[in-house]
């Protein structure tokens, strides 16, 4: 039995030029980077970001306490 991800974000791209201050942080960054390279010939680096979450990141695993639990226990 496999666990399915709770959330899978669509990839976002960061594209930065090595020759000038041009950069883009958009879902369509690949096309923008290609157009900038074609127009200028500048080298560009593209980084693809993606987030996949299994389970609820706001809920600790069974048996693990949170800092809020510890503060509540010491305040009593």
Q: Look at 76 and 46; give whichever has higher pLDDT.
A: 46
List the domain range (segments joined by +) for residue 27.
7-75
Counted domains in the chain: 1
The share of the chain scoring above pLDDT 90, in percent, equals: 34
CB of 12 within 8 A of CB of 60? no
For 26-37, the pLDDT digits (tens) are: 878 889 999 999
Task: Note whether residue 30 is domain-resident.
Answer: yes
d(CA 52, CA 39): 35
Task: Give the strand pairing for 23-24 and 52-53.
Answer: unpaired
Task: Note whether residue 56 is domain-resident.
Answer: yes
Question: For the whole model, what pTM was predicted?
Answer: 0.56
Spatial CA neighbour of 43 closest among 6, 18, 73: 18
């Amino acid at each position: 039995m496999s666990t399915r991800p709770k959330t899978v974000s669509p990839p976002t791209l960061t594209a930065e030029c090595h020759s000038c201050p041009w950069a883009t942080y958009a879902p369509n960054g690949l096309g923008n980077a290609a157009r900038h390279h074609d127009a200028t010939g500048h080298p560009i680096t593209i980084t693809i970001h993606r987030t996949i979450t299994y389970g609820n990141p706001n809920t600790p695993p069974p048996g693990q306490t949170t800092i809020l639990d510890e503060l509540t226990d010491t305040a009593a």
